[in-house]
Amino acid sequence: MLAQHTLAPNRFEHVPVAVFPSSLEASRTVAGEIAELIRSRRQGDRPVVLGLATGSTPVSLYAELVRLHREEGLSFANVVTFNLDEYCGLRPDHPESYHHFMRVHLFDHVDLPAAQVHLPDGTVPNAAIDAHCREYEEMIRAVGGIDFQILGIGRTGHIGFNEPGSTRRSRTRLVTLDPVTRRDAAGDFGGEEHTPRSAITMGVRTILEARRIVLMGWGQHKAGILRAAIEGEVSSQVTASFLQECDQVHFVLDQVAAGALTRYRTPWLVGPLEDQGLAWDERMTRRTILWLSQQRKKPILKLTDDDYNESGLQDLLRVYGSAYETNLAGFYQMQHTITGWPGGRDPARTKPGDAPVRPLRASSANVFPKRVLVLSPHPDDDVISMGGTLCRLVEHGHEVHVAYQVSGANAVSDESLWRSLLFVRDAGLADPATAKRVQKLCADYETTGALPASPELTHWKALIRRHEAIAAAAVCGLPADRLHFLDLPFYDSASVRRRQLGERDVEIMHRLLGQLRPHLIFAAGDLDDPHGTHRLCLHALCDALARATNEPWFSEVELWLYRGAWAGWELDEIDLAVPLSPQEVLRRRRAIFRHETQKDQALFPGEDSREFWRRTEDRSRQLAEAYNALGLAEYEAIEAFRRQSPEEFLHHGQL
């Protein structure tokens, strides 16, 4: 079944890759293969030995296996399982332990005898860990080795917890977790300081010895590392790349996770476009020209016939006739992305000769002022990702609203709250009972270094972020009555990985849309945020828009996606580029500075520890430099957006 979805081999990919329209379909197919294997072993035969993974990736696979058990009688009586890994220091009943995860998602719902389940034990004392690991390997050998190994991939390229640096000969052992991995898990543990530092994991060698290996990868945030694992050199820096060395492996991806592969990013390098069912449409033309300009380090208008020919782009030249014509096509497309009037201009005050307001839809071009809704997942994404554009929209006289989708309370440290409590304690503003409580909380923090977790304290943390957002918006000229703090309830779930959108989330978003009837919506299309909050916020918008399709404003609304602190748009994805002056860059910096509690967020050891304002400035300056290098114009900085058709957006597939 996987074979049907396996891509034709090409010289860039070093392992077989199957791509599915969605992770759900992919999971069903993998579950089907596992079910077939289980059913093909007769009673009395050697058991089927499954190597299991945890994390968000296999959740839908386990759900399908449970369904097959319940509805189609798939029995696990003759199955033995070995999990890849477990955090050190977590008891099996800890809600974030992998023991617990496996019970919740699989073991409690199928007829797998407890004696046939194996996971490394995270509570083994240090001195006994080596012996425990050897025993784990021995148990795998004793049942005849692993028949089918399921894998996910971490953002560091890890399989199991084989972090960069693990060798191909490594066996089950104690490992130290990479800072990126810990950061990704920090949300589940209520902060980095509570996240385990080490784990026991099967080694690379242990994994490679399995008779069949399927690595699954979903979502845009995995696209880059998947490309490295599939197309890059085999290297201990990306341990998933070791899988290139075995014949029994399959990578199973959804469409967006496969998006960075050469066949999708630069398909002309793979072969003629027609052979791949593709055409030289506007997007492809632009993407190719931008790529060529960067490869040749030349502005677009200086590319020659030789540049195209030597890069194997004769087909593109044939479409346009000459390098000159091809260049112009690419150049105009890029030039038309630039506007200093992101919401359009007051038509009454527009004089002939004024700069054009290019990328806006004709239908709303003459509406002035526009109702603009900026959706900010956390209370700082607005200024971090589009602070300059926000200031412009306000200055141009539009009715700008900012809606903060989640409270952001989880990212406020106890120390930040303690400082606010000190103010309450010392200002003498609270009634005697409250003053006493606050005094006690401060004293607790001073002795233990932590505050107790409670809904009330979480609410206070949310207020701190709210006030920072109000101050930042004020820098952009936005009064507090244009700010909407939605506090979407999905964010309050105890475990980040178990967060799901609910009816109330969508209803809150839908109500806001109905109330504002926006002409323009700016939303975070930044799906690489480590905790997945941005993705859920975008889903919430998507579902809310789906409910609004019959409302009169829907047919006119324009949707622009920004990307923020963690990644930028590729040049060829940009539809709207808003240039900023040096003064505007400084103003945006002042706005970002108002989010004082978020400075710690950038202080993870080993990670790019630049603060948000720096990341923002670097990214928007680099983008301006890239536009300049293409031969367009020399700006101080640029904020970029991608147009998203609201109609197409209603299909989650793209997320």
Shortest reach from residue 164's CB to ligand F6R, in Å: 13
What is the Cα–Cα distance from 612 to 614, expressed in whole angstroms?
A: 5
Asked if 53 is part of the footprint of ligand F6R (rule: CB under 6 A), the reply reads: yes
When asked if residue 408 is in the footprint of ligand F6R (CB under 6 A), the reply is: no
Closer to ligand F6R by CB, 148 or 627: give it: 148
Which of 163, 192, 209, 611 is the catalytic position?
163
* Angle of CA points 38, 42, 44, to nearest 5°: 115
Under a CB-based contact definition with an 8 Å cutoff, are residues 17 and 3 in contact?
Answer: no
β-sheet with 79-83: strand ranges across: 17-20, 249-254, 213-217, 148-151, 48-52, 79-83, 117-118
Stretch that binds ligand F6R, among 151-159, 165-173, 537-545, 548-556 (CB under 6 A): 151-159
The Cα–Cα gap between 122 and 201 comes to 10
Do the strands 173-176 and 198-201 form a parallel or antiparallel pair, or are they unpaired?
A: antiparallel
* 84/561 with CB nearer ligand F6R: 84
Q: Which of 23, 27, 29, 57 binds ligand F6R (CB under 6 A)?
A: 57
Residue 184 or 381: which CB sits closer to ligand F6R? 184
Q: Which two tokens stand for residue 626?
A: 């890239």
617 catalytic residue (yes or no): no
261 closest CA partner among 269, 595, 616: 269
Residue 386 binding ligand F6R, by CB under 6 A: no
Give me the least distance between CB of 562 and ligand F6R, in Å please: 24
CB of 253 to ligand F6R, least distance (A): 13
Q: How far is CA 77 from CA 228, 288, 468, in A?
A: 38, 54, 56
Residues 571-610 that bind ligand F6R (CB under 6 A): none
85 or 528: whose CB is closer to ligand F6R? 85
336-365 mask for ligand F6R (x: CB under 6 A)? ------------------------------
CB of 568 to ligand F6R, least distance (A): 22
Range in contact with ligand F6R (rule: CB under 6 A) among 52-60, 522-530, 541-549, 581-589: 52-60
Rule CB under 6 A: choose which of 51, 64, 65, 85 binds ligand F6R. Answer: 85
- Please name the residues in contact with 94: beta carbons below 8 A apart, sequence gap of 6 or more: 100
Q: How far is the CB of 163 from ligand F6R (least distance, A)?
A: 10
State which of positions 160-189 bind ligand F6R (CB under 6 A): 160-161
**Contact 377/499 with Cβ under 8 angstroms?**
no
Query: Judged by CB under 6 A, which stretch of 148-156, 313-321, 400-408, 600-608 contacts ligand F6R?
Result: 148-156
Contacts of ligand F6R in 508-547 (CB under 6 A): none
Q: Which is nearer to ligand F6R, 57 or 333 (CB)?
A: 57
The answer to whether the CB of 26 falls within 8 A of the CB of 253 is yes
**Among residues 51, 120, 122, 154, which is the contact residue for ligand F6R, using CB under 6 A?**
154
Among 23, 27, 29, 54, binds ligand F6R (CB under 6 A): 54
Give yes or no for a contact between 225 and 190, defined as CB atoms under 8 angstroms apart. no
**Could you tell me how many residues of this chain bind ligand F6R (CB under 6 A)?**
14
Side-by-side strand order, sheet with 198-201: 85-87, 198-201, 173-176
Residue 184 Cβ vs ligand F6R, minimum distance, rounded to whole Å: 7
Q: Which long-range contacts (CB under 8 A, 24 or more apart) does 89-98 make?
A: 89/122, 89/123, 89/196, 89/198, 90/122, 90/123, 90/196, 91/122, 91/123, 92/119, 92/121, 92/123, 95/494, 95/495, 96/185, 96/188, 96/189, 96/495, 97/122, 98/54
Contact assessment for residue 594 and residue 574, using Cβ atoms and an 8 Å cutoff: no
Smallest distance, ligand F6R to C-beta of residue 497, A: 7
Task: Work out how close the CB of 102 gets to ligand F6R at its nearest, in angstroms, rounded to a whole number.
Answer: 9
Q: Which residue has the tokens 């905790």?
A: 531
For ligand F6R, give the closer residue by CB, 160 or 359.
160
Residue 84 contacts ligand F6R per CB under 6 A? yes
- Judged by beta carbon, residue 102 or residue 375, the one nearer ligand F6R is 102
The one-letter amino acid code at 221 reads H
Q: How far is the CB of 122 from ligand F6R (least distance, A)?
A: 12
Q: Which of 6, 10, 56, 439 binds ligand F6R (CB under 6 A)?
A: 56
Segment lying near ligand F6R (by CB under 6 A), choices 49-57, 125-133, 187-195, 456-464: 49-57
Q: Which is nearer to ligand F6R, 187 or 525 (CB)?
A: 187
CB neighbour list of residue 332: distance below 8 Å, 6 or more residues apart: none
Choose one: 146-154, 432-440, 444-452, 632-640; the region binding ligand F6R (CB under 6 A).
Answer: 146-154
Pairing of the two strands 249-254 and 213-217 = parallel
Span interacting with ligand F6R, options 35-43, 53-61, 514-522, 636-644, rule CB under 6 A: 53-61
Residues 6+ positions from 590 with CB-CB distance below 8 Å? 475
Comparison of 84 and 512: residue with beta carbon closer to ligand F6R: 84
The window from 12-20, 48-56, 129-137, 417-425 that contacts ligand F6R (CB under 6 A) reads 48-56
Tell me which residue of 396, 373, 283, 358 sits closest to 558, measured CA to CA: 373
307-336 residues in contact with ligand F6R (CB under 6 A) are none
Of the candidate residues 122, 152, 408, 525, the single one contacting ligand F6R (CB under 6 A):
152
Tokens of 249: 């492996």
> CB of residue 187 vs ligand F6R: minimum separation in angstroms?
11
Instruction: Say if residue 282 is exposed, middle or buried (CB neighbours under 10 Å; 0-12, 13-18, 19+).
Output: exposed
158 lies in the site for ligand F6R, by CB under 6 A:
yes
- Cβ 205 to ligand F6R shortest distance, Å: 15
SS (H, E, C) 201-270: ECCHHHHHCCCCEEEEECCHHHHHHHHHHHHCCCECCEHHHHHHHCCCEEEEEECCCCCCCHHHHCHHHC
The span of 38-46, 156-164, 330-338, 498-506 binding ligand F6R (CB under 6 A) equals: 156-164
Give, as one character, the DSSP assignment of residue 523: E
Residue 63: other Cβ atoms inside 10 A = 17
Q: Are 364 and 511 in contact (CB under 8 A)?
A: no
DSSP result, 408-451: -GGGS-HHHHHHHHHHHHHHT-S-HHHHHHHHHHHHHHHHHS--
User: What H or E segment, with its residue span, contains residue 140?
Assistant: helix 129-142
- Least separation in angstroms between CB 180 and ligand F6R: 10
* Residue 447: burial class (beta carbons within 10 Å; 0-12, 13-18, 19+): exposed
Q: Based on CB atoms, which residue is closest to ligand F6R, 437 or 497?
A: 497
Catalytic (active-site) positions: 163
Binding site for ligand F6R (CB under 6 A): 53-57, 84-85, 152-154, 158-161
